[in-house]
Structure 1
Amino acid sequence: MSNIHERPILVEQHPVTRHQYIIPTPTIDALMLKIKKLVRMHTPGAVIFAYPRFGKTYGIRYVKNALQYDYPGVVCLSCGTEAKKAPSEDAFFTMLLEASGHPNALTGSVTRKRRRLNERIAELVDASGHNWFVIFADEAQRLEVLEYEWLRDVHDCLERKGIRMITLLVGQPQLLNQKTALRQSNHTQIILRFMIAEMRFDGLADADSLATCLQGYDEAVYPPATEWTYTRFFYPQAFDAGFRLVDQASAVWEAFMRAHLKSRIAVPLEIPMQYFAHTIEIALETNMKHDMLDFKFTPKMWDEAVAESLFSEALQELYLGMPSN
């Protein structure tokens, strides 16, 4: 490999190899627009739902970064809810204190933890230059009524201080069942605070959507402030000769379509982001040894990458093994 094609870092250090990167998708872009509208309209909360591995957590990371870019200094907290036998007020407020970065999240009584949380958030928001903040609750279908009531206490306390709290519940479709159950049990205040809006986090449903994602690999650079795009890093010779991943959108879509048809699942093809990204990572790393000026991916290469991503196995679980709810 000539000097101009010599990679600036080891392959093992690249974010694609380490699975530590974010690229935009049509679904993420649409979600971002909806969340910005929530902010403008002073909507207090929303449900964001999707099946497992459709990229919810990945998308939320992107949205947090984008919010902080568009609203410099804005406070964005995130917490992951855990499965438990019964809700614990102490554990709940410890979780929120940890999400807020409080140094004493584990000590003190529940009363002290409640006070610390409200003071900590007020301090963060005051320093941000805004009068609102966003909190993302991941796997929110695990929350129980008592926990929603505790969260409502936080919302109301901060509202009295002039601070607007926007709560985004991120989880699986069971969240919609939970909303229905809350409505039937007359927990209207919980719905109005946290579930008034609904957003579905879709998978990738056509070649154009794939093209948007693939273009991200062609444009994102690492190391920062260099000309080493992700695609160029893995295929420097081919890239210099004009190779771009975006031109592979139809070929990648057709490979997923072939796998989908073999699975005999009677639903339209919708690719979870997790399996799309894993497929691209496998293809980039597995075939980089073939890099040359006239390198091209073959249908077989894409078929093998899709198979190694375990997309077909996941499809069976998602659409056959999961309850319809």
Structure 2
Amino acid sequence: MQSHQEINLRSLALREAALTPGEDRDRLYEEHPLVLNAICIPTGPVQEAYDIVRQVLVHRDPGTCLTADFRIGKTTAIHAITRQLSRTTPDVPFGFVIVKGHDKPTERNFFTDILLDFKHRAATSGTTTDRRTRVLSTMLSQAMQKKSTRYLLLVDEGQNWGESEFTFLRDLTNDCQERNLAVITVIFGHPALKQIRAHLVGKARMDLVARFLLTPRVFRGIQDKEDFLATFRAHDDAGLLEFPPHSGICYSEFFFPQAWRAGWRLEHEGDQAWDAFCLVSSDFGRHEKNIGMNWIAGAIRNFFFSQAESDSPGYMASRNVWRDAVDASGYAASLVV
């Protein structure tokens, strides 16, 4: 085990490599989660969605669904939720499926897609029955390893499933139940998922609605200034967003090391950034109160990329900088009806 002194020395070495111009910093820059567009910010909406998932898991509800508009950040939220669940409920196995659209839905495609998302080595071989058995065996095996009687199945892009796929899913969860494994299904999707639900209600398929789509919830975007500013503060907090790992360097410090040392924080840019989003909304005659995290994260990324070379003590961005960053995020296109 490393001593505290060794840990501190390693952290100092990481800081020097990350913040000093040179090959090490260049390499770390290319690996940075923000550069790779692979960050998960624990926003208010994400915490609300986590609380919903946690509730259905604790109460062993058969499932629920959450809908959100385009680019609100559903997939990113799911990844954040799974990371948090890994810490809070490590004894519950979970699977993550991204639903693919098919012109002709078949049971074979349904189970193949799940196996591919489960990263099963034999996902594309064997008969339909073989693939169905592999999905069932994988879920049972994961539950057995954790000695769990619950299994959480998280589904993204659920609007791509129809009556056939939900029937296949019902049969799969029934098989699990017969083996004393309760499958809790949480489905995220576009609002079109509500149309699927209405179609199933119209066909009296309440067996499917009650199990998977009974209580649609809304996964919201950022709706007020305080929520918005919290995303900026997160970039200033190495406890939330740190890179490299164990360096104590938050995202803001990584991209603006000189300004950071002089007291600058990304939070200081929050008011101007909020105003920029509001101005873009007003250009379209809108008063947008549901900003997707994809647009906010995109604006922050564009700000860092465009302004990093201006890093210096006393740095302060102009309003035009943030208007350009918001424009580059593509936010305006989302307001076009």
Please indicate the TM-score interval, normalised by the length of the shorter structure.
over 0.9
Match of 2:300 in 1: 280
Q: Counterparts of 1:1-325 in structure 2 under 5 Å?
A: 5-6=19-20, 9-10=25-26, 11-219=29-237, 220-265=241-286, 267-316=287-336, 320=337
Mean CA deviation greater in 199-208 or 95-104: 95-104
Q: Is the CA contact 1:260–1:269 (under 8 Å) kept in the aligned structure 2?
A: no
Question: What is the deviation of 1:28?
Answer: 0.2
Task: Give the SS at the match of 2:25.
Answer: coil
Q: Is the CA contact 1:257–1:269 (under 8 Å) kept in the aligned structure 2?
A: no
Matched residues in 2 for 1:142 and 1:78: separation? 15
Instruction: List 4+ stretches of structure 1 deviating above 3 A.
Output: none
With the length of structure 2 as denominator, give the TM-score of the two structures: 0.89
Amino acid corresponding to residue 283 of structure 1 in structure 2: F
Question: What is the deviation of 1:176?
Answer: 1.0
Q: Is the CA contact 1:208–1:249 (under 8 Å) kept in the aligned structure 2?
A: no
Q: Is the CA contact 2:278–2:288 (under 8 Å) kept in the aligned structure 1?
A: no
Matched residues in 1 for 2:147 and 2:264: separation? 45
Amino acid corresponding to residue 20 of structure 2 in structure 1: E
> CA separation of 1:40/1:134 partners in 2, compared to 1, >3 Å: closer, same or farther?
same
Aligned-residue identity in percent: 23
Task: Give the SS at the match of 1:159.
Answer: helix
Amino acid corresponding to residue 238 of structure 1 in structure 2: A
Matched residues in 1 for 2:280 and 2:118: separation? 43
Task: Give the SS at the match of 1:107.
Answer: coil
Question: What is the deviation of 1:13?
Answer: 2.5
Task: Give the SS at the match of 1:203.
Answer: coil
Alignment gaps of 5+ in structure 2: 1-15
Mean CA deviation greater in 4-13 or 236-245: 4-13
Amino acid corresponding to residue 65 of structure 1 in structure 2: R
Question: What is the deviation of 1:172?
Answer: 0.6
Question: What is the deviation of 1:73?
Answer: 4.7
Task: Give the SS at the match of 2:186.
Answer: strand
Question: What is the deviation of 1:97?
Answer: 2.0
Q: Tell me the C-alpha RMSD between the 2 structures.
A: 1.6
Matched residues in 2 for 1:311 and 1:19: separation? 16
Alignment gaps of 5+ in structure 1: 321-325
Q: Is the CA contact 1:134–1:166 (under 8 Å) kept in the aligned structure 2?
A: yes
Amino acid corresponding to residue 22 of structure 1 in structure 2: C
Question: What is the deviation of 1:70?
Answer: 0.9
With the length of structure 1 as denominator, give the TM-score of the two structures: 0.92
**C-alpha offsets along residues 109-162 of structure 1, whole Å, 9 cap, x if unaligned?**
112222222122101111123221211222111111111111000110101111
Task: Give the SS at the match of 1:297.
Answer: coil
Amino acid corresponding to residue 244 of structure 1 in structure 2: R
Mean CA deviation greater in 172-181 or 241-250: 241-250
